[in-house]
Amino acid sequence: MLSDLYVAGAKVFVTNPKRGDSSSEWVVATVISRNGDDVSCEISAGGQKLRVMKKITQLPLCEKIQSSDSMADDFQFPSNPSIIENVKNRYAKGVIYTTAGDCLVSVNPYKVTTTDDKTNANIYDFHYMLKCRTRPSDAQLNTQTRAKSKVLRVPPHPFILADEAYESLRSNRQSQTIVIQGVGGTGKSENAKLMVNYLVNLKSLSESPPLPEPKKKRLPSGPLGMVENPFVLGPEITQFDKVLLAAISTIECFSSAKTSTNDNSSRVGKFLKIYFGSSFDVAGAHFSTYMLEKSRVTHQPPSERSFHIFYQLILGGKNALKVKHKLKTMIDYSYLNNVRMQGINDEIEFNRTLENMKLLGFTESDLDLIFSTLSAILELGNASFTGGDGNASIPPKSQESLKIVEELMSLPKGSLSSAILQKAIGTARGKTTTVEAKVEDAVAGRDGLAKTLYSKIFDFVISKINSTLATLSKGTMERAGHFGKTLNGNPLSVGIVESYGFESSAKNSFETLVINYIEEKIQQQVTQSMFKGQLSQYSKEQLDFSTIDFIDNQDVVDLLDKKPQGLLCMLDEACRYPRNTDKSFLQKLTSTHMRKSSATNRVFEKDKTKDDLTFTIKNTYEDTVYDCDGFLEKNKDRLGAHIAELFSSSSDKGLAEFFSDSSPSTEGVLTRSGASSSAAAASSTFAKKVKDDMDVICSEIVESTISLLRCIKPNSSRQPETVDIKLFENQLVKADIISSIRMRQDGFAYTSVFQGFYERFIIVIPTNTDPTLDLVPKPGCDYKKLCKTLLRELGKLAHISNLEATVQFGASSIFVKHRTYQAFEALRKVKFQDMDRAAVLLQATFRMGIKQKDHKSLKKGVSRAQASWRAVYYRNKYEQQKKAIAILQLQARGFVARKVYRENLHASKTIKSFYGKLKGRVRWRKLQNAVRSLHSLSRAYIVRMHVNRMLEAVQLLQDCARSFLRRNKIHYTRVRVALFIQGWVRGSLERSMMTEAVEYLANKRKERFRARAVKKAQNRWKSLMVRRRFKQLIQACKTLQQFARSHQQRGEFVAMKKAAIGLQSGFRGLKDRDRVREVRNEKMVEEEQQAVYNANRNEAQNLANLNARRAQGLAGGKSRNFRYDLLDVDILVAINDVYPEGWSKNVITLDNEVAKRGRRITNVLVGAAHTIALTDTGEIYSWGWSDCGQLGHGSHQQEKSPRALETLMLQAQTSDTIAIDRAITGKMSIKQVAVGEDHTLALADTGRVFSWGGGKKGQLGHGDFKNNSYPRCIQTLKWTTTSVVCGSNHSVSIGHNGSIYTWGAACAMVGVAL
């Protein structure tokens, strides 16, 4: 029984009594005592112990599992705290994948994770794909030892999930669907790309021979946070596979954007189906998309961006392309935020996008149409309207923007201006007419046109991709014969559904409602497949499944789309009548679903005390409050007929086809984000399109087998190795992972017919069982009765007391729960192992008997002699060793004690003697070591060069001599013999005739012999000198090596001494901090926190008032329009000693003062104890403390109010004649300032940098460590500076050529280029 485990000392999970925003909901507690169902537990936290009393049902058991690959197999009593703790521990170790039943859980690491911590192998390359493909099955692992099984087992991975789906497709001939779920920023798109990449490499994984292991190298950062070339291409990759991977990148470019949760957030739902032929190779593919977030085209939050393609086109396009399509800079477009992503080169990304689009079959005319439309969309955003409460009109500047749009869209001149000032309205007879539009109507029409144009372009891209894939797969299908068929005749496919993820924010509108509806529908299908389908099988077999529970969202889905009272159905009905408003729709919705008789009143709420347009739906993940404002207008989702007619008459045929009634349907786009291309589609609402498309997707899912991948976001700040416990727990609990594990454990994991179960486990029963037990099958016997008898015996062997609760008999099959089946399999495995050991034991016994008989007689006598001799020998040896050990211990203790005493004495003397001279010695030793290193390197280099030259010369001479001897040995021997004979004959004749010449030649021969002897002696002497010199060089090298070793040992001694000093100072600091902690009490901390809180509240209120006055735009009777609030302080502290009257008061006073002169403050920066303000005319104001001269006024006097910095150029030391001239004439201004802890940098519009303030750590960049109270120009910067920034005690500048210069902290030299 589970309750029997709650004994004293047991570990359980208890709800945290002191839970904060960042703490866990559960803590581990120890059971102290138990009284019935009441359990007393003790919690240890912060050195304190707290006792609580809970019921057994409120205390989940804490299982001792540190890191489990499969939580369904390893957890005996699964609970939410156990699952959360396991996933958190794996994530802390760098393991981001875990299985929970039939579900794969992935935690976003927020970093480029490419290696496995255990094997240090790349887990995303082709070799790891091959490892996942050839991994051993569970049956094979069961035959191995536990240690070997642990080594051979491949941990969970998306590759394995894709491989299991493929193998299920092959074995069952059933289409597969992989559903990827998770909130925004959890890595759904990256996991989807990994699985697609694995599927297209299946042929390479099956046919290619094993490849050698790649060399370990660090992968460079690539596009959108991925590594360079994110897709892995195997040796058997086809052109179709390359096109499919290129299509994924292209769709990502047009449908992804930077959001607050993700730099590459997919803003469209995607459904990719990969078809397989009769040979189970990839034979085709088809993309479907739904619910494109078209509102992102016209509006993005301040820190987010629009779709990637806009920024790639503007920042990455060439000049010729920009001129052709009339593109401007990013800041010239109102539809775009000037936000860039770090580490992303838009020019490289745009070139990659162009290459992919050309590979996908996009022609030059197609690209021109796409880029012209994108440019026109951006230009539309620059059109503004005036007119107040009357009819709208277009200013001259906006007329120019609309003319550019007309040129790009090939429209008649002036047609767009007149059309956009008209509003289409419906008449009583169902027709439409146009009236003069007001300003808000014109703005809505402009934004609606921009959204429609982008949705048309996106639909065109999807249609073109599907057309190219169909063309390429046509040849593949012909070679394969036909598509592989399922058992019901449908094409075999693996579908990947990449969902949006549930969304909830401060204000949720119609788009959020539709996104959450889509997620609820997909979640319903997952529940239907994973839980309801299996439970229906149990019901048919008449099994008891009352213990299985799961989260069912049927009520939420019924609330949203059940006819006729579903929210979307009622919204469509309200859109049919022009008089309906958002308020009337909400009233009808509330009256329908707030009734007690309504089945959906449990998930729908409306606060009747508030007279607003909000209502609450209790979604699966969390309760979401929706604002009904604009629901009807957004649901109509129509473009004015007069505007559609205008664009259908464009001279650009491609653009005209988008708006013509005869336009071909964009195959593959389930839900269009803009207006429909036909008149019939124009009358349909956006909600109806979404419901129709979800019906298509759900029908596809129902006809296939579902695999689930749940993605988890560990924190909202996107920091690696950081876990937000509250967010982490909320996702894991709401994802209903506990139900998957319980379905695995409480459900029946093993199902078999009676005969199959009997034949598998009958071998486990031992032969010495009760003789009255009849387990022998007879012809026509009842296997169900035999299985019951067999089951009782198996329960006795496995010590399973409550066997009836874990095994049930159906009408035709036996159902066994996972734990019981594991126990039976363990018995079967042990039985086979016992049989193997028995066979080995018999063989060994037989061989031993043969040898033992011959050896026995000899062994007896020898053993007795050896025993006697060993006894005497070891007794003597033991006595000697005992005495020696006693002496050694005595000497060792004395030696260690003396050594420790000498070391301590020497260390204390060394520390005392060198403490006063440490600074000078450190600097001198650095210089001395550098000079010695240079000398030693120079001498070694000269010696090595000399020795190498001598060796090369000797080797060259030896090679020449050997070559000469080889070539001439035989030839010259023969020649010498012939010449000798000829010379002897001729010499005899001549000598007989010339006696005087013979004597002369004899003398010459003697002289040659003497010369040869001298030469030979000289050569011997030279070789002797060379050998002597070589020995000298060897001795010099040894001397240099000895010097290097001694130098290294001296360096180690200095490092050890520094470490000792650091340890002593750290120990003293630790004792001092402990002493300070004892002095401080809780009251002091509370008072200090209250003071900080009051200061924060006062400063924040003052800044809020300042921003409010700025928003009114009244300053001296003149209108002051600001694009955004300039003063926005994140953290304020109590600094009344620096700013006695409050920091914000000085800012407000300065703002009012400069506003009187028609100027405004553009930037305010705060240092440790001083503040710098910069106006739009380049003037600088400073106030605060000036103990290091950081105010720049030439003195160290504190300034309580802002004071203009008039000494910037007069005291600046510069040789720049242009800068001096501009300072004298008053035309020079400062365009940027940067503030550190106690120093300031100013960047002039001439590119010169000035600095003043504290320079004790070289942060001023003048080559010294002095403070400067006057601004001083930094002369050593080589290039014109474009930007500056300050840290606490260092500074950084960026030159116009991209070079970076840093100074400060540990060095006082400037111009250190990176």
The predicted structure's pLDDT at residue 1210 = 44
User: Burial, 75: exposed, middle or buried (Cβ in 10 Å; 0-12, 13-18, 19+)?
Assistant: buried
The Cα–Cα gap between 502 and 514 comes to 10
Per-residue pLDDT, averaged over 617-624, amounts to 82
Q: What is the mean pLDDT of the chain?
A: 79
Q: Is the pLDDT of residue 1267 over 70?
A: yes
Instruction: Name the more confident of 759 and 1025.
Output: 1025
Per-residue pLDDT, averaged over 117-136, amounts to 79
The Cα–Cα gap between 1140 and 1138 comes to 6
The predicted structure's pLDDT at residue 310 = 92
Q: Using pLDDT thresholds of 50, 70 and 90, give the confidence band for residue 250.
A: very high
- Looking at the DSSP assignment, which residues form a beta bridge with residue 426? 432
Helix (H) or strand (E) holding 257: strand 256-257
Q: Is the pLDDT of residue 17 over 80?
A: no
Q: Using pLDDT thresholds of 50, 70 and 90, give the confidence band for residue 537.
A: low
The Cα–Cα gap between 514 and 691 comes to 9
Q: Using pLDDT thresholds of 50, 70 and 90, give the confidence band for residue 1115.
A: very low
Running DSSP on this structure, what letter comes out for residue 784?
A: H
The Cα–Cα gap between 150 and 142 comes to 11
Q: Is the pLDDT of residue 959 over 80?
A: yes
pLDDT in tens, 48-86: 667 777 766 666 666 655 455 655 555 666 677 777 777
Percent of the chain with pLDDT over 70: 80
Q: Using pLDDT thresholds of 50, 70 and 90, give the confidence band for residue 251.
A: very high
Q: Is the pLDDT of residue 765 over 60?
A: yes
pLDDT in tens, 710-753: 888 888 888 888 888 778 777 777 666 666 666 555 656 667 77
Q: Is the pLDDT of residue 1308 over 50?
A: no
Q: Is the pLDDT of residue 378 over 80?
A: yes
The Cα–Cα gap between 1260 and 1238 comes to 10
Q: Which of 324-338, 387-401, 419-433 has the lowest mean pLDDT?
A: 419-433
Q: Is 229 left (phi over 0), alpha (psi -120 to 50) or beta?
A: left
Q: Is the pLDDT of residue 124 over 50?
A: yes
User: Burial, 591: exposed, middle or buried (Cβ in 10 Å; 0-12, 13-18, 19+)?
Assistant: exposed
424: Cβ–Cβ under 8 A, 6 or more apart, which residues? Answer: 432, 433, 434, 640, 641, 642, 643
1143 touches 1171 (CB < 8 A): yes
Percent of the chain with pLDDT over 90: 11
Report the candidate in 1252, 1248, 1270, 1259 with the shortest Cα–Cα distance to residue 1310. Answer: 1259
pLDDT in tens, 890-942: 999 899 999 999 888 888 888 888 777 888 878 888 888 888 888 888 888 88
Length of the chain: 1314
849: Cβ–Cβ under 8 A, 6 or more apart, which residues? Answer: none
Q: Using pLDDT thresholds of 50, 70 and 90, give the confidence band for residue 377.
A: very high
Expressed in percent and rounded to 5, the helix, strand and coil fractions of the chain are 50, 15, 35
Tell me the chain's radius of gyration from C-alpha atoms: 43
The Cα–Cα gap between 651 and 869 comes to 115
Residue 604 has φ and ψ, to the nearest 5°, of: -125, 135
228 touches 218 (CB < 8 A): no
The predicted structure's pLDDT at residue 673 = 35
The Cα–Cα gap between 210 and 923 comes to 58
Q: What is the DSSP string of 213-233?
A: PPPP-PPPB-GGGSBSS-S--
Instruction: Name the more confident of 346 and 147.
Output: 346
1273 touches 1246 (CB < 8 A): no
DSSP-H helix ranges across 481-566: 510-527, 533-540, 554-561
Q: Which of 180-184, 538-542, 985-989, 1148-1152 has the lowest mean pLDDT?
A: 538-542
- Looking at the DSSP assignment, which residues form a beta bridge with residue 1294? 1283, 1300
- Looking at the DSSP assignment, which residues form a beta bridge with residue 118? none
The Cα–Cα gap between 1038 and 1026 comes to 18
Q: Which of 642-656, 754-768, 1035-1049, 1269-1283 has the lowest mean pLDDT?
A: 754-768
Q: Which of 300-304, 1012-1016, 1079-1083, 1172-1176 has the lowest mean pLDDT?
A: 1079-1083
817 touches 807 (CB < 8 A): yes
